[in-house]
Structure 1
Amino acid sequence: MYVSLGFAQAPCCCLQSTKWSQQPCFSAAGYRKSKAKPNGKKTASEEKKVYLEPEHTKSRITDFEFKELVVLPREIDLNEWLASNTTTFFHHINLQYSTISEFCTGETCQTMAVCNTQYYWYDERGKKVKCTAPQYVDFVMSSVQKLVTDEDVFPTKYGREFPSSFESLVKKICKYLFHVLGHIYWAHFKETLALELHGHLNTLYVHFILFAREFNLLDPKETAVMDDLTEVLCSSPGSSGATGDGASSGASGAQNHVKER
């Protein structure tokens, strides 16, 4: 079983502020790359990445050394540590998205895009679901909520064991949560800035990325889409100067075509 560790859990209102539809829990098929063609429509964010401006990247809500915080404590089971932190990240990212959810609509975000990459959802039967960004996030949050409240996957009762597939499930959860964080930066950073919540977003991003790196939860190829931001945020004070394996040497070379996943 796992107990709540790490930073404080986000208030339960993060799940109440946005109405998530109950969708089937994602399966391994939900992570296949899509071959569908993107609409090719560019957003204003493509012209200039506001979130990379120095005055914004310096913003944090704490100068805590997250590299120290993510390390597995002594006498704590690895699965318990992964479960506690994954659940906490889910609540915080859910809450962060809820602050800009009214701006993320089917009209403003017709596709789930992050930089030059467009994501598609696959249900548990492997069927591709064409959806807007808010629908995609809906699928993510509903599916993760179902998993973290499933006693067979995230056991909380004494004597219950974690499933053998637990680590792979955590990796899939982190992959989808990364997509949500990336979309907030890419499509809704200006709104986040207007709400003066960019410091919270940067702090959450650094903590999440360093935790994922510590336990190899995210494929560097998956996070490469945000390597420019990761390099800036995770090499600045408060992140122990970590750049880790998640940073790609080709981060500065933006591609001109749109990838599909």
Structure 2
Amino acid sequence: MSFFNSIGRSMTRSQRGPKRSPTPTSATFSPTDSAPPTPTVAAPPVVPQPRPPLYLCSPFVEAALVKGNFKTIVMLPKYVDIMEWVAVNIFDFYTNLNEFYGVITECCTQQACPTMSAGQTLSYTWINQDRKSVHLPAPTYIDYVMTWIQNLLNDEGVFPTKSGQDFPQSFPSTVKHVYRQLLRVFAHIYHAHYHQILHLRSEPHFNSLFAHFLAFGREYELLEMKDVKGSSSAPVGIGRLWEKWRDMGLLEG
């Protein structure tokens, strides 16, 4: 039963209230009277949606040298030791990424990149000799990372190159640390310098390198997804790129 029907049933002819004044109409207003103002409802403010970064936009997100799933190029070849396979690939990732960064190093300055940013609310910190987290300009941070990795690659005790020499037991944990730091360099370049990559028309090469890096890291458990995506309060920009490539079928879920 509606609200108005319930009122009609409760009223009788003998219970009529006092006569009310007629409802005002246009005929009851004098020419000098003004009609009551019509209430207006303010429209909610339009909040502009933030534009996605260029590396998530078409056609740049689809630009790659490799077609199909990257899993096919990271599989362990027959008769190859897994430690050797991981070591060789890390050397290649480091070398190629270092060459890309060398091209844009003039744009990555202390003034342009005062922090090692990798998202709108994310900046990586470096652990100094006192075991304290400190913010560093991006070029300083990346220089520390690349120098540290180069020293590891040159250390026969960590990356042996002589036949018959075994890898140390700490090798898996070492390469995970290396991988995490290389990921941060990738993340900063995508966040702060992808437009320079586009200017050089190198996005297919850079995208392919990074997709290969992600596929290899996931295949051999060198990457944690929390490092790729970050947290809800400080997301990593490239986390959305990983999801995009997964949906496109380039990477495994």
- TM-score higher than 0.5: yes
Which residue in 2 is equivalent to 1:159? 164
Which residue in 2 is equivalent to 1:227? 239
Which residue in 1 is equivalent to 2:32? none
What are the ranges of 5 or more consecutive residues in structure 2 without an aligned counterpart? 1-49, 230-235
Q: CA deviation at 1:234?
A: 3.7
2:106 equivalent to 1:94? no
Q: CA deviation at 1:201?
A: 1.0
Alignment CA distance shift 1:125-1:149 (3 Å): farther
Distance 1:195 1:230 in 2: 23
Q: CA deviation at 1:158?
A: 1.2
2:83 equivalent to 1:79? yes
* Aligned counterpart for 2:151 among listed residues 146, 150, 166: 146
**Which deviates further from its counterpart, 204-213 or 127-136?**
127-136
Instruction: Report matched runs for 1:124-143 at 5 Å.
Output: 126-143=131-148
Distance 1:192 1:228 in 2: 19
Distance 2:82 2:65 in 1: 28
Distance 1:243 1:164 in 2: 29
Tell me if structure 1 keeps the 8 A contact 2:116–2:124.
yes
* SS of the residue 2:248 aligns to: coil
* SS of the residue 2:60 aligns to: helix
Q: Percent identity?
A: 37
Q: CA deviation at 1:48?
A: 3.8
Distance 1:69 1:212 in 2: 12
Distance 2:246 2:207 in 1: 10
Which residue in 2 is equivalent to 1:62? 66
Distance 1:234 1:180 in 2: 21
Which residue in 2 is equivalent to 1:206? 211
Alignment CA distance shift 1:48-1:66 (3 Å): closer
Tell me if structure 1 keeps the 8 A contact 2:71–2:252.
no
Query: Which has the larger Rg?
Result: 2
Paired AA for residue 60 in structure 1: A
2:248 equivalent to 1:236? yes
Distance 2:203 2:129 in 1: 34
Cα RMSD, aligned residues only:
1.6
Instruction: Report matched runs for 1:181-192 at 5 Å.
Output: 181-192=186-197
2:175 equivalent to 1:170? yes
Q: CA deviation at 1:139?
A: 0.4
Tell me if structure 1 keeps the 8 A contact 2:93–2:213.
yes
* SS of the residue 2:149 aligns to: helix
TM, length-normalised to structure 1: 0.71
Greater RCO, CA 8 A, separation 6+: 1
Q: CA deviation at 1:66?
A: 2.1
Q: CA deviation at 1:97?
A: 1.2
* SS of the residue 2:146 aligns to: helix
Q: CA deviation at 1:68?
A: 1.0
* SS of the residue 1:107 aligns to: coil
